[in-house]
Structure 1
Amino acid sequence: MNIPSLKSKLDILQIGEELGIKIDKHGKAHCPFHNDKTPSFQFSKEKQIVTCFSGNCSAGTMDVVELVKKYKSLELPKALDWLQERTGEVNQENLTQSQTATKPNYQSDFQQMQSSFLASSTARKYAESRNLDWKSLEVGYNAFKSSRFNYLRGCITFPLKNEKGDIVSLYGRSVRTTGGNHFYSKNRIGLYPGYPNRGTKKLILTESVIDTASLLNNKEITESFALLSLYGTNGLTAEHIHAIQQIESLEELILFFDGDPSGKEANLKHAKYLKSLFSETTIRIVQTPEGTDINELSGSHDKGIFSDLINKAESFFFSVDPDTSGDTLSKEQETVENKKLPESTQNTYKLDTNHKYNLKYQTDTAKYEIKGGIAKNGLDRLVISLHIIHLETRKKSRVRLDLYEDKQVEKTAREASEKLELRADLLEQDLNYLADLLDEYREQEIKEKEEKEQEKHYVVPEDEKEEAFKLLKSDDLIQKINQLIGQSGVIGEQGNRVFLFCIAVSHKFENTLHALVQGSSGSGKTHLVRQITDFMPLENVIRLTRVTESSFYNYGEYDLQNKLVVIEDYDGLKDEAELAFRELQSNDELRSSVSAKDTEYGSYRTQIRVVKGPISSMAATTRGAIYEDNLSRCFVIAVDESKEQTAKIIDYQNRSAAGEIKTNQKDKIQTLLQNCIRLLKPMEVINPFASKIKLPEQAFKIRRLNSNFQSFVKQITLLNQYQRKKDKQERLITAKEDLQIAIEIMFDSIILKVDELDGSLRLFYEDLKAYVETRGKEYEFTQREIRQDLRISKTQMQRFINDLLELEYIERKGTGMHGATKYKISYWDDNTALKQRIKDNLKNQLTQL
C-alpha cells in the first residue's frame, strides 16, 4: 500500500479525535500546537486537511500524515505504521518503497559531490579563497547536469544532518560572483555540522555555514567548543532549539555573529530569547570587530584571534517584568515543545509603513514587500502587488493577489515555495498574518482620514475657559475685543479690524457673513486679513493662496461646513472657481453632476456630488471695479491707505525692530479670543427692532444690503449671548445696543454701498479734491504732479484717472507745454455731507426706538 492509498482509507476527523483533539460539529478545535484560547484549528472533511489559522502558530496546513507526525513527534516511517494499524492492513514494504522512490538519497548524492569537488579546480580554488581547509571538511561541489539539484548548480555544498547524523538536505554556496550566494534544498531540514553531542558543555552559534566551517578548521576551538550554524540572522529555527534542548548539562551558549548592524541586533534578540529558555545557562556575546565576520577574520588574522575574542565575550543579562514573566516564559516553552517558531519572535513581526507605497514585512521565513500600497477598491477585498524575497539568496517571487481569497493565498504560497525553495506552510502562515496586519493598517488609515474630515473638537482648559467667560460676560464686549486686537499688533484700522473680526466669527452660526477687503497693491489688505484670521480657532479655518477651477467641487460633503474660508488673492481666481465660491456664499452648498465608477458593477455612472456649507469668508482684492454679484454678497471693506496710517505702521515696525514690542502678549490674546469663539453657541435670535431701522434708499442693491445688515445685527447679538435675555423659547433677544454697535461698525460699508466710487477710488478722489481746492476749483493738473504729491504708483494713478473719467468726475483739458495731458475736476460732490446726513438719519432712528 502506498501513501496516497493509505490516506484514502483514513478520515482526518476520526484520526484527530483518536489523537485526543476535541472537534466540534463545525470541524473546529483548539490548536494543540500553541496556547489557543479560541478555536483556530479547522478540519476540512472534503479536502482531508487541517489548518491552524492563528497568527501565533506555525503549524499551517497538514494532511493526516503530517498531523500524526507533528502531534506524536514521530519520524515518517513510524507515523505510517501508526496510521496503517488504524486501517487494519499491514504493507510496510510498499510504503517504504514509495517513500524511497520520492525522497532524494542525499547521502549518496553528497558522496558524488565530494568526488566532483576533488576533481574541480574551480571549487578548490574558491574554498581556498574563503580560507577553508577543504581537506579536513565535509565539502562537495555540484556538477550534476540533471535538474534535480539545478538550484545548487555551481555551488560548493555542505551536508545538513538530522539527529541520527544522516544527511537530510544540503546547503550550497555559489562560486560565481554574480547572482545569489546562498542556496538550500527544498523544504530545508537538518543542521550544520550536525546535532551537538548530548554531553556538550560549551556551544558556539554562528550566523552562517561558512563561518562555522571556518571555525571547524581551528583545532583550538573544536577541542573546547561544539559548533552550530544558524541560517542567517533570522535563522534560529525550532530545530536548533530542539537540538540545544537535547544537551544534558549545557553550561555556556556563545553567540558569534557578524560585526554589522544586523548581526548586533540578532545577538540581542536571540540572547534574550535563549536566556528565557535556558535560564541556568550562561549566555555570552562575542564582540566581533566592526564590519567583519568569522570567515574574513580567518584570512586576515592569526587563528588565536578567535580564542581571544571568545574569552572576552560579554555575558548577557536581562530582567523580566514580574507581572508578565511567568506567562511569557510558559508560552515560549510550550512553543518549543511543539517544535514551532518562538512566539516571542512572532509577536515582534511588524509592518513597516515608513513608505506607504512600499510597505514591508519580514519573518524568519521570508521578506515581503507590498508595492504601490493597498489598492483602494473597497473593504471587501485586500488586493496587493507582492514581492516575496528569500532572506539569503534575495531571489524573488512576484504576484498580485487578493489576501481575502484563500485559494489565491494557498496557490501563491505553493508557487513561491517551489521557486524560492521555502516551506509552503510557513509562507501561507506568513501571508495570513500579513493580511491581519494590513487589515489593521487600513483600518487605522481610514480612522485617521475620518478624524481629519470631521471637525476637531477642541477642549478648552478650565483655567483658560474661566478667563474667556470673564471676557464674554463683561460690559462693552465689542469695544474690549477691538482693544485686544489693537494690543496684539493690528495697527490702526480700528473700524475695519473689529468689523472683519465679527464677520469671521459668523462661521460658527447659521447666518454667515462675507467680507471683501479692497486696497491697492502694497496697502496691507492681505496682511490685515491674515491678522484677523489668526484670532479664529485653527480647526475652523481653511486658508487658501491659490484655488484651481474645480477645487471647491472636490471637497468632501461636510469639509467646508461652518468653516471660515480665507482667500488671500481673490484676483487670482478663475471664473469657474469664482462662480463656485459665490454659490457657496449665496446658497450654502454646491451641487455638481459628475461621472464616477460604480464600485459594485465597475461601470461609470452619473452621480450628484454635494459640498455643503454654510461658510464664512474673507478675501483680499486690488480690483477697483468689482463684479456686481460679489458686491451684493459681501461687505466691501476699504483698507486705510492714508499717510497717517502709514506713519503708524512704520512706527510699529521700528519699535518691533528695537525689541520694544512684547511678542508673547500677541500669543496670549490670540488664545483668549480663540477660546471665546469656541465657547460661543449657535442660537436662534429675534430682533424686535428689525422693521424700525431703514437703510438709505439710494444704496446699491438695497435688498441685499438690508439682509446683510440684519445678519450683522444678529452676529452682534450672538457675540453678546452671555449678556442678552432669552424669550420662553430660549431665543436670544436683540438689544438696542446691538443695533447701535452694528451701525457704528458697518457704517463705512453702508456708505460704500451708497457711493458709486469704490473704497480706494473714493479715498483718492477726496485727496485729489483737497489738492486742487488749495489751488482753486478751476485748477488744471497733470497725472505726474498728483502722483508725486500723493505718492502713488503710475499704474494706480492711471486706473484712478480712467475710472474718474468714465464716471465723469473729471475731464481732459488739452495738453501742456511738454505734451502732458491736463485734467480738471468737473463734478464736486460732497461725500462728507452725504455721510453726515446718513449718520444723522440712522442716529435719529435709533433714538426713536
Structure 2
Amino acid sequence: MEISEIKNRLSLSEVLHHYNLQPKNNMLKCFHHEDKKPSMQVNLEKNFYKCHSCGKTGDVIQFIEDFENLDKHNAILKAQSLIGSEVPTMIKPKIENKSQSDTVFLEKIFKTFRKGIYNSNPAKEYAEKRNLKVALGENKEGLEIGFNSGQFHHGERKDEELIKKSLEAGLLIDKGILGRTGEKAFGIFANKCLIFPLRNKENEIVSFYGRSIFENKEAKHFYLRNRSGIYPAYPKKETKKLILTEAIIDCASLLQIRQIKENYSLISCFGTNGLNEEILQAIKELKNLEEIIFCFDNDKAGKTAVEKYANQLLMVNYKLLITNVELPNKDINETLQLHSEEIFLELLENRKDIFLSNENKKIIVTEAEPRAEPKNNIDFLKQKNLLQELNKLIEKAGIIGEENSRLLLFLITISYLNKSPLHGIVQGSSGSGKTHIISRIADLMPQEDVLRFTRITESSLYNWGEFDLFQKIIIIEDLDGLKEDALYALREFISNQVLRSSVTIKDKKGNNKSSHKIVKGQFSSLSATTKGELYEDNMNRSFIIAINESEEQTEKIISYQNRRNAGEIDRNEQEKAIGFIQKLVRNLKHYEVVNPYATQIQLPNNVKNKRRLNEMFQSTIKQITLLHQYQREISSSSSSKGGEQYLVTEIEDVENAVEILFESIILKIDELDGSLRQFFEKLKKAFTDNHFTRFDAMGITGFKKTQLQFYLNELVRLEYLKQIGFANKGFKYKVSYSDNIQKVRKDLKEAFTKQLEELKLNATEHKRTPNGSETNAKAQPMTI
C-alpha cells in the first residue's frame, strides 16, 4: 500500500482513538517533552498535529512513529494494521541501543534518586501510605525505589557533562529561558516523584517511571522520553508462571510478598493499553511458560483490557493457561492497603481460567488430539465456498443454530467499514437468546471498534466527539429501555450518519454563547427487542431478524450447554476461532461495488416500505461482494480521479443475498412480527377448529402468563383470534383467520428462483454471443 493511500484512508481521529487519547478542545499533552498543560494541537479535519511548545509537527504516520517510538518502516506497518491491511504479526519497537556509558549514567542518577527518598520525609510518608516498603539503609529486602527532589543536577551545576547527558536522556528539558540567577533554567523530568527503574535484557537501567507524590489529576505519571525496558526486569528464562499487573505500583506491591516473588515472575504493563510489543516479545521468548495470570484493576477498563489481551496472548501460544485474579478492591495496591499480604496468596489460589466460565480448571489437549490449525486469513477469504466455511467458523466460535440469521448479522456488523453501513434488530420473546446472539456476533469483531450499551439516554448520542462514532459497531442490548428522544436520535444517525445540534457553551470569559456541534456516525448497529411492533420507524431502517424459538433450536442450544458444562467443548478452540475471524475482518479492504444485475431482480410488491428494503437488499449484495473481494474482479473507473478501483458483483452474490435475506423479507411482508408469527403457527397447528383457553395455549407454547397474555391480546386486536366469553369466567379463544404464510413463502421462493434462472440464462447467452449487445447482457426487470 502506498504511503499516500495510507494517509487518505487513516484519519488522525482513528489513531487517537486507538491509543485511547481524547483531545480536549483539540488539544493534547505533548509526549515529546514534559507538558503540564496541553500544548499539542490536533487538527482532525486536516489530519495533522503541532505542538506550540516544542514545535513538533507531523501527519498520522509521524504521530505513530513518535508515540510508539518506532522507525519509519514499522510506523507505516502499524498504520496499515490500523486500516486493516495484512501486516506482520510483530512490529518491533525502535529500542535505542544505549551505550554502556548511557546505562552507567542512568545507574548513577538512580543512585542519587535512592539517596533522595532516604532524605525526603514527604516521599517516605507517601510510600508508607501506599504500603510500599522501600529499601533504606541496611534494609535490603525493600523495594528498589528512588525519589526525584528536582535537585540532582544542582550540586554539580558547573559539570557541563552532567547537564549534557541529562538533556540527552530527557531528565532535563531546555526551556530556552534564564532563571532568577541569570543562569539557564531547565524543566525537570518527574519532579517530586517516586522513581522506578525500567530494565533491558541485560538487566541494565534504560528508562524511568515517575509517580507524583502529590494527588494532581493533571500530572500523576511520567515516563522518560523514548521509553523502553520492563519493570521490574525481564523475566527469567525458566519462568513457568507469569503475573501481569496493570500498573507499576501494583507490581511493586506484589514484589514485597516473599511467596509470590519466589514462585512467580512479574511484569507490569503500562496501563490498560500498555501491553506493548517489548513485553509481548519477552513473553514469546519464555519457552517453559505454562500460565499467565492477569491481576488488573477491578473496573470496566481493567476487565476489558484483560479480555482483549487474553485473546491476543492465546494467539501467541494456544497452549497457555490464562487466568485472572478477581480483586476485592479497586486495584492491587488498594487491596494491600486494606488487607494483609496473605489475602493475595488466597486470591492467587482461587484464580480462574478466563476461558472457562466460573470454573477453575484447564482443558487438557493430549498429543493424540492435535488441534486443527485454521488456514491463512487471505487463503480463507479466497475459498470458493467462503460463506459456508465462514458460517461453520461462526458456529465454532459459539453461536449455535440460527444459520442464516447469524450470517446476516455478521454481514450487517462488518458493514461498519463501508460508507453505507447496515443495521439489524433482533426480535424475540424474553429469554429467547436475542441479546446473546448479538453479543456473540460483536465478539467476532475487532474489539477496539465495538461499543456496547445497555441503555442510551436522550441526549447522549449528541455529546460524543465529532469522530468518536466513525467506523464503529454499536450494540444495544435492550432497545425496549430507550426513550423516544433516544430512538429519534438513533433514527437520525442511521438515516443521515450525522447529528447536528445547537448547544450553549461558555467562552474564555465565562459568558454563554451558542455553538454548532456535529457528531458523525458511520457505524453499523445491532439491537435486541421483545416488542418489535413498537419501533416501526426504527424497523423501517433496519433488517429484522427473528430468533428461532422452535423446539429443534432449543434442543440444539441445550445440547451445546450440556456438552460445555461436561468439559467437551474446548474454550481455547472457541477463542481461537474468534481471534481468527477478527483477523479476517481486519483483512477486509473498502471498495466501491458495481452491481450489473441491480436492475434485473425485484422485490415483491406486497412488501412494507419497499423503497427502503430495496436499498437494504442492494446493500447486502454489495456486502457479500466485498466479503468475496479476494475472488472478485477489480476494475478501475476512468471517470473518477486516479481511476478509483471497484469490485464487480457476480450472480453468485445476488443468489447468496436472496438466500440469506429470505426470512427478513418474509417478515417485511408478514403483518405479524417474528416471535408473534411463531406463537400463532403453534396455536394454528394445535387448535385449528377448536376453542382453547390461555392455559391450553400455555401448555402448547411454553410461554408464561405475562408474555402469553400480551401475544393473545395482540392476535385478538389484529383479528387473527376471536375472544369468547367474559373475564370473570375466563376467556376462550378460537382461530378466526388462518392465513397461509407457507403459501406466501413458497410463492416468494419460486419468484426469486425464476428471476435468478433468467439472470443465469441471460449471462450465458451474452457469453455465447460474440460482441453481445447491452440488450443481450441484461434482462428486463422482473416483478414478483
Normalising by the residue count of structure 1, what TM-score does the alignment of the two structures yield?
0.48
- CA–CA distance in structure 2, aligned partners of residues 612 and 344 of structure 1: 43
Greater relative contact order structure (CA < 8 Å, 6+ sep): 2
Q: 1:731, CA displacement in angstroms?
A: 1.2
Q: 1:706, CA displacement in angstroms?
A: 0.5
Contact in 1 for aligned 2:190/2:212 (Cα 8 Å): no
- CA–CA distance in structure 2, aligned partners of residues 839 and 475 of structure 1: 24
Q: 1:844, CA displacement in angstroms?
A: 0.5
- CA–CA distance in structure 2, aligned partners of residues 353 and 288 of structure 1: 17
Q: Does 1:693 align with 2:601?
A: yes
Query: Tell me, what secondary structure is at the counterpart of 1:491?
Result: coil
| Equivalent residue number for residue 824 of structure 1 | 734
Contact in 1 for aligned 2:424/2:545 (Cα 8 Å): yes
How does 1:19-30 map onto structure 2 within 5 Å? Answer: none
| Equivalent residue number for residue 700 of structure 2 | 789
| Equivalent residue number for residue 401 of structure 2 | 492
Contact in 1 for aligned 2:682/2:700 (Cα 8 Å): no
- CA–CA distance in structure 1, aligned partners of residues 691 and 599 of structure 2: 48
How does 1:309-458 map onto structure 2 within 5 Å? Answer: 349-351=191-193, 369=214, 373=218
Q: 1:490, CA displacement in angstroms?
A: 1.0
Q: 1:374, CA displacement in angstroms?
A: 7.4
- CA–CA distance in structure 1, aligned partners of residues 316 and 673 of structure 2: 46
| Equivalent residue number for residue 749 of structure 2 | 839
Contact in 1 for aligned 2:504/2:513 (Cα 8 Å): yes
| Equivalent residue number for residue 570 of structure 1 | 479
Query: Tell me, what secondary structure is at the counterpart of 1:584?
Result: helix
Q: Does 1:801 align with 2:712?
A: yes
Q: Does 1:482 align with 2:367?
A: no
How does 1:402-801 map onto structure 2 within 5 Å? Answer: 467-599=376-508, 601-729=509-637, 730-773=645-688, 777=689, 779-801=690-712
Specify the code of the residue in structure 2 equivalent to 1:525.
K
Q: 1:789, CA displacement in angstroms?
A: 2.2
| Equivalent residue number for residue 234 of structure 1 | 119
Q: 1:795, CA displacement in angstroms?
A: 1.1
- CA–CA distance in structure 2, aligned partners of residues 492 and 764 of structure 1: 19
- CA–CA distance in structure 1, aligned partners of residues 117 and 672 of structure 2: 82
Q: Which runs of 5+ in 2 are unaligned?
A: 1-114, 143-158, 167-180, 197-209, 221-273, 275-300, 318-372, 638-644, 760-784
Query: Tell me, what secondary structure is at the counterpart of 1:495?
Result: helix
- CA–CA distance in structure 2, aligned partners of residues 613 and 654 of structure 1: 41
- CA–CA distance in structure 2, aligned partners of residues 352 and 622 of structure 1: 55
Identity, % of aligned positions: 42
- CA–CA distance in structure 2, aligned partners of residues 266 and 623 of structure 1: 59
| Equivalent residue number for residue 6 of structure 1 | none
Specify the code of the residue in structure 2 equivalent to 1:502.
L
Q: 1:508, CA displacement in angstroms?
A: 0.8
Contact in 2 for aligned 1:467/1:672 (Cα 8 Å): no
Specify the code of the residue in structure 1 equivalent to 2:699.
Q
- CA–CA distance in structure 2, aligned partners of residues 612 and 346 of structure 1: 41
Contact in 1 for aligned 2:135/2:141 (Cα 8 Å): no
Q: 1:820, CA displacement in angstroms?
A: 2.1
- CA–CA distance in structure 2, aligned partners of residues 704 and 677 of structure 1: 27
Specify the code of the residue in structure 1 equivalent to 2:731.
T
- Please list the CA deviations of residues 720-759 of structure 1 after superposition, one character each: whole Å capped at 9, or x if unmatched: 1110112232210000000000010010000000000100
Query: Tell me, what secondary structure is at the counterpart of 1:648?
Result: helix
Taking a change above 3 Å as real, the CA distance of residues 345 and 512 of structure 1, as seen in their structure-2 partners, is closer
Query: Tell me, what secondary structure is at the counterpart of 2:725?
Result: strand
- CA–CA distance in structure 2, aligned partners of residues 288 and 848 of structure 1: 86
Taking a change above 3 Å as real, the CA distance of residues 233 and 737 of structure 1, as seen in their structure-2 partners, is closer
Contact in 2 for aligned 1:624/1:761 (Cα 8 Å): no
Taking a change above 3 Å as real, the CA distance of residues 708 and 352 of structure 1, as seen in their structure-2 partners, is farther
Taking a change above 3 Å as real, the CA distance of residues 604 and 697 of structure 1, as seen in their structure-2 partners, is same
- CA–CA distance in structure 1, aligned partners of residues 597 and 552 of structure 2: 38
- CA–CA distance in structure 2, aligned partners of residues 267 and 485 of structure 1: 52
Contact in 1 for aligned 2:423/2:526 (Cα 8 Å): yes
- Please list the CA deviations of residues 532-551 of structure 1 after superposition, one character each: whole Å capped at 9, or x if unmatched: 11111111111111212211
How does 1:67-466 map onto structure 2 within 5 Å? Answer: 234=119, 349-351=191-193, 369=214, 373=218
Taking a change above 3 Å as real, the CA distance of residues 767 and 595 of structure 1, as seen in their structure-2 partners, is same
Contact in 2 for aligned 1:233/1:266 (Cα 8 Å): no
- CA–CA distance in structure 2, aligned partners of residues 468 and 740 of structure 1: 25
- CA–CA distance in structure 2, aligned partners of residues 554 and 735 of structure 1: 42
CA RMSD in angstroms, aligned pairs only:
4.3
- CA–CA distance in structure 2, aligned partners of residues 658 and 632 of structure 1: 43
- Please list the CA deviations of residues 123-177 of structure 1 after superposition, one character each: whole Å capped at 9, or x if unmatched: xxxxxxxxxxxxxxxxxxxxxxxxxxxxxxxxxxxxxxxxxxxxxxxxxxxxxxx
Query: Tell me, what secondary structure is at the counterpart of 1:789?
Result: helix
Q: 1:287, CA displacement in angstroms?
A: 7.4
- Please list the CA deviations of residues 798-824 of structure 1 after superposition, one character each: whole Å capped at 9, or x if unmatched: 1111111111111123269x9221111
Query: Tell me, what secondary structure is at the counterpart of 2:634?
Result: coil
- Please list the CA deviations of residues 61-88 of structure 1 after superposition, one character each: whole Å capped at 9, or x if unmatched: xxxxxxxxxxxxxxxxxxxxxxxxxxxx
Specify the code of the residue in structure 2 equivalent to 1:798.
Q
Specify the code of the residue in structure 1 equivalent to 2:393.
L
Q: 1:626, CA displacement in angstroms?
A: 3.0
- Please list the CA deviations of residues 302-330 of structure 1 after superposition, one character each: whole Å capped at 9, or x if unmatched: xxxxxxxxxxxxxxxxxxxxxxx995599
Taking a change above 3 Å as real, the CA distance of residues 826 and 610 of structure 1, as seen in their structure-2 partners, is same
- CA–CA distance in structure 1, aligned partners of residues 474 and 139 of structure 2: 61
Query: Tell me, what secondary structure is at the counterpart of 1:714?
Result: helix
Query: Tell me, what secondary structure is at the counterpart of 1:515?
Result: strand
Q: 1:344, CA displacement in angstroms?
A: 14
- CA–CA distance in structure 1, aligned partners of residues 161 and 613 of structure 2: 75
Contact in 1 for aligned 2:621/2:653 (Cα 8 Å): yes
Taking a change above 3 Å as real, the CA distance of residues 603 and 847 of structure 1, as seen in their structure-2 partners, is same
| Equivalent residue number for residue 158 of structure 1 | none
Q: Which runs of 5+ in 1 are unaligned?
A: 1-229, 237-256, 270-284, 291-324, 333-338, 363-368, 376-443
- Please list the CA deviations of residues 426-483 of structure 1 after superposition, one character each: whole Å capped at 9, or x if unmatched: xxxxxxxxxxxxxxxxxx9xxxx9xx9xxx9x99999999711011111111111111
- CA–CA distance in structure 1, aligned partners of residues 117 and 587 of structure 2: 61
Specify the code of the residue in structure 2 equivalent to 1:811.
K
- CA–CA distance in structure 2, aligned partners of residues 468 and 752 of structure 1: 35
Contact in 1 for aligned 2:504/2:512 (Cα 8 Å): yes
Structure number with greater Rg is 1
- CA–CA distance in structure 1, aligned partners of residues 160 and 515 of structure 2: 59
- CA–CA distance in structure 2, aligned partners of residues 673 and 347 of structure 1: 44
Query: Tell me, what secondary structure is at the counterpart of 1:611?
Result: strand
Query: Tell me, what secondary structure is at the counterpart of 1:522?
Result: coil
Q: 1:810 aligns with which of 699, 721, 728?
A: 721
Q: 1:837, CA displacement in angstroms?
A: 0.1
- CA–CA distance in structure 2, aligned partners of residues 700 and 516 of structure 1: 16
Specify the code of the residue in structure 2 equivalent to 1:534.
D
